[in-house]
């Protein structure tokens, strides 16, 4: 073959073709090898990555599982420990000794006895007792109720000490029920708590740790009182003090109740020291203080002297103006004797309320008089002369009695001298005569009219305890001795009386010339 460069041989052409083919083959082989190498490398990398990921996942899973297992085990252990503690504490606080606890108490009015758990520190202290807050435990309806535990301060409490306190409550409850029958306003009703008695079974750890301190400490098996906690029912107050001092300025049902207890007991004792709460349903009071003629009500009983001190501070209101007051405290040789005329011991609530009263009957010293006292009978409208008359009690002893002043409402006192005497041995509180020298018929009629008006007003005021604004006669009480400088009236009448014998005033209420002595 001929070209522009000259003739080309077939061998040269063949050589060129062979070279081209070889180059192409080499290039293809190289490309294939490179591709294979790349694929292998990629596969290896992928495999390595997958293996690493799998290993990491496995490790993480294992770690998580281990952590979860550990946490679960710890939680389970903690829960079990807490449950054991809670169950143990709920079964018996005594195992932990967190609070003091008593044994089962005597039965309450429902026949249920309760234990009391109470704190280690007292909430209040009085002269004779410490007060601890606590709550009741047991199976009765009062379970869980808040209570107070009273611990005696002067020494470990005994059962007799508790019985004496409970007896005060029972006596006060009986008197309160009788008093409540006489009033209509529910806010003036009076009730008392009734404590339970028990012994201390176990002491709290805190109580044991403080035994090194000075003072008396709570002991196991000493007797304590368990009482209702009144603080949750209202404001705790002292209404009347232990010596009869009244906190409220105005007259209240408690003032009348104080006087009622003396009157109802046959002049043997008086209740005071009223403290507690007042609710819409009346007064709820705790342990009262009792002063008696024979000092038989324990350490707080101030005896006859304190009894009379109570009445020195007492002001009668319209509920108690007719009740008798204590006689003056005389010397031993002149001590008046009490003679019963129908009351005596407290009666049950089912007894009839129409009892007779008591009359004071000191011996008259007739030997000191030149003239013997004469016993006289008078009719309703009769007048006495200037001779001395006597007030006879059961026909056995004599008492000189004179009332020397009378007043109508708030008018000026009238100098009216009059005398009170009995109708003799057979006389009763319904037929004692009111005998006077200067009391005219017109004044008697005015007294009757005034009485009707005041009785109507008293009915209106009875529910509120408000004191009526009447005083037909100055209320003068049997046994209040008339001092010589206080004696007024006509000298000619006073001169007829024995100046050496004590004069006594008598609580009188004139109705048409007849004295109707209020019955007990």
pLDDT exceeding 90 applies to what percent of the chain?
27
- 223 to 103, 149, 170, 220, 460: CA distances (angstroms): 10, 10, 19, 9, 49
* CA gap 478, 458 in Å, rounded: 24
Res. 475: pLDDT tops 80: no
pLDDT band at residue 282, thresholds of 50, 70 and 90? very high
| pLDDT on residue 397 | 30
Burial state string for 140-158 with b = 16 or more CB within 10 A and e = fewer than 16: eebeebebbbbbbeeebbe
- In DSSP terms, 401 is beta-bridged to 504
- CA distances to 49, 65, 70, 82 from 76, rounded to whole Å, are 40, 16, 10, 10
Mean pLDDT of 368-395: 33
Report which of 336, 341, 356, 344 is spatially closest to residue 268, judged by C-alpha positions: 344
If you average pLDDT over every residue of the chain, what do you get? 69
Residues 454-462, mean pLDDT to the nearest whole number: 72
Closest C-alpha among 284, 277, 242 to residue 126:
242
Residue 63 has pLDDT above 90, yes or no: yes
Q: What's the rounded mean pLDDT across residues 60-87?
A: 92
Mean local confidence (pLDDT), 316-333: 70
Structure confidence at residue 56 (pLDDT): 94
Task: Encode pLDDT of 131-167 as tens digits.
Answer: 999 989 888 888 888 999 999 988 898 999 999 999 9
Cα–Cα distance, 54 to 171 (Å, whole number): 91
Report the distance separating Cα 82 and Cα 63, nearest Å.
28
Q: What is the DSSP letter of 98?
A: -
**Contact in structure between 151 and 157 (CB atoms under 8 Å):** yes
Is 325 or 142 the better-scoring residue by pLDDT?
Answer: 142
Residue 402: is its pLDDT beyond 70?
no
Q: What's the pLDDT score for residue 141? A: 87
Q: What is the pLDDT of residue 403?
A: 37
Looking at residue 326, the DSSP 8-state letter turns out to be P
Q: How far apart are CA 324 and CA 479, in angstroms?
A: 9
Task: Report which of residues 457 and 465 the model is more confident about.
Answer: 457
Closest CA to 404 of 480, 500, 308: 480
pLDDT for the residue 150:
93
Strands (E) across 356-473 are located at 359-360, 390-393, 397-400, 418-421, 432-436
pLDDT (average), residues 430-439: 34
The answer for residues whose C-beta is within 8 angstroms of residue 512's C-beta and 6 or more apart is: 380, 444, 448
- Span of 88-97, 263-272, 465-474 with lowest mean pLDDT: 465-474
Q: What is the pLDDT of residue 41?
A: 93
Give the helix/strand (H/E) hosting 170. helix 159-180
Residue 200 CB neighbours (<10 A): 23
Q: What is the arithmetic mean of pLDDT over 99-105?
A: 86
Residue with tokens 């550990």: 70
CB 503 within 8 A of CB 479: no
Indicate whether 119 pLDDT > 50.
Answer: yes
For 92, the token pair is 């018996």
Identify the weakest region by mean pLDDT among 50-54, 88-92, 387-391, 506-510. Answer: 387-391
Residues in Cβ contact with 193 at an 8 Å cutoff, skipping those fewer than 6 apart: 169, 227, 228, 230, 276, 284, 285, 286
Q: What's the rounded Cα separation, in Å, for the pair 2 and 7?
A: 4
Rounded CA-CA distance 122/143 in Å is 22
- The CATH-assigned architecture of domain 100-313 is Alpha-Beta Barrel (3.20)
pLDDT recorded at residue 78? 94
- pLDDT for the residue 113: 87
pLDDT band at 451 (very low <50, low <70, confident <90, very high): low
Distance, in Å, from the CA atom of 485 to the CA atom of 412, rounded to the nearest integer, reads 20
* C-alpha dist (Å) from residue 403 to 199, 441, 473, 486: 57, 19, 10, 12
pLDDT band at 199 (very low <50, low <70, confident <90, very high): very high
Task: Decide if pLDDT at 80 tops 90.
Answer: yes
The pLDDT-based confidence of 202 (bands split at 50, 70, 90) is confident
Out of 15-19, 217-221, 516-520, which region has the weakest mean confidence (pLDDT)?
516-520
Instruction: Evaluate if residue 174 carries a pLDDT over 50.
Output: yes
Provide CATH 3.20.200.10 ranges for the chain. Answer: 100-313
pLDDT at 3 over 60: no
- What pLDDT score does 247 carry? 77
Q: Rounded to whole angstroms, how far apart are CA atoms 223 and 152?
A: 9
* Stated pTM of the model: 0.48
Instruction: Over range 82-93, report the average pLDDT.
Output: 72
d(CA 483, CA 378) in angstroms, rounded, equals: 28
Residue 65's contacts (CB-CB under 8 Å, 6 or more residues apart) are none
Q: What is the CA radius of gyration of the chain?
A: 50
Other C-beta atoms closer than 10 Å to the C-beta of 411 total 8
Tens-place pLDDT, residues 227-279: 999 888 888 999 999 888 887 766 688 989 999 999 999 889 999 999 999 99
Eight-state DSSP code of residue 143: T
Question: pLDDT above 70 covers what percent of the chain?
Answer: 58
Using the predicted structure, report yes or no on whether residue 360 has a pLDDT greater than 80.
no
| CB of 243 closer than 8 Å to CB of 308 | no
């Amino acid at each position: 073959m001929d070209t522009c460069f000259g003739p080309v041989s077939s061998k040269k052409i063949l050589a060129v073709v062979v070279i081209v083919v070889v180059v192409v083959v080499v290039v293809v082989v190289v490309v294939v090898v490179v591709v294979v190498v790349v694929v292998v490398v990629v596969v290896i990398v992928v495999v390595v990555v997958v293996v690493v990921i799998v290993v990491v996942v496995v490790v993480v899973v294992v770690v998580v599982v281990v952590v979860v297992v550990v946490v679960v085990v710890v939680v389970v252990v903690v829960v079990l420990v807490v449950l054991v503690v809670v169950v143990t504490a709920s079964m018996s606080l005594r195992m932990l000794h967190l609070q003091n606890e008593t044994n089962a108490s005597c039965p309450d009015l429902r026949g249920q006895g309760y234990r009391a758990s109470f704190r280690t520190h007292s909430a209040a202290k009085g002269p004779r007792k410490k007060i601890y807050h606590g709550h009741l435990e047991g199976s009765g309806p009062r379970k869980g109720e808040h209570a107070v535990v009273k611990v005696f301060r002067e020494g470990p409490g005994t059962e007799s000490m508790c019985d004496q306190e409970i007896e005060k409550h029972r006596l006060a409850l009986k008197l309160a029920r009788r008093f409540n029958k006489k009033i209509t306003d529910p806010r003036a009703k009076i009730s008392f708590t009734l404590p339970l008695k028990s012994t201390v079974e176990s002491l709290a750890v805190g109580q044991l740790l403080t035994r090194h301190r000075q003072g008396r400490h709570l002991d196991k098996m000493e007797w304590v009182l368990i009482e209702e906690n009144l603080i949750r029912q209202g404001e705790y107050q002292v209404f009347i003090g232990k010596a009869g001092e009244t906190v409220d300025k105005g007259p209240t049902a408690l003032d009348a109740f104080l006087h009622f207890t003396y009157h109802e007991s046959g002049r043997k004792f008086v209740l005071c020291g009223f403290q507690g709460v007042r609710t819409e349903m009346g007064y709820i009071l705790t342990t009262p203080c009792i002063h008696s003629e024979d000092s038989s009500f324990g350490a707080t009983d101030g005896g006859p002297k304190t009894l009379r001190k109570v009445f020195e501070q007492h002001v009668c209101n319209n509920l108690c103006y007719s009740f008798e007051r204590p006689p003056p405290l005389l010397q031993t040789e002149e001590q008046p004797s009490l003679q019963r005329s129908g009351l005596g011991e407290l009666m049950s609530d089912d007894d009839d309320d129409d009892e007779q009263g008591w009359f004071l009957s000191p011996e008259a010293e007739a030997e000191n008089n030149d003239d013997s006292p004469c016993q006289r009978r008078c009719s309703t409208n009769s007048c006495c002369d200037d001779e001395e008359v006597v007030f006879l009690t059961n026909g056995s002893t004599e008492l000189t009695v004179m009332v020397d002043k009378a007043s109508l409402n708030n008018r000026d006192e009238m100098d009216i001298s009059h005398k009170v005497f009995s109708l003799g041995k057979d006389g009763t509180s319904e037929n004692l005569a009111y005998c006077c020298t200067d009391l005219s018929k017109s004044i008697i009629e005015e007294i009757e009219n005034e009485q009707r008006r005041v009785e109507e007003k008293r009915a209106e005021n009875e529910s509120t305890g408000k004191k009526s604004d009447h005083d037909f006669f100055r209320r003068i009480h049997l046994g209040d001795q008339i001092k010589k400088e206080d004696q007024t009236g006509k000298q000619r009448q006073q001169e007829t009386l024995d100046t050496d014998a004590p004069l006594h005033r008598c609580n009188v209420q004139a109705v048409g010339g007849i004295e109707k002595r209020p019955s007990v």
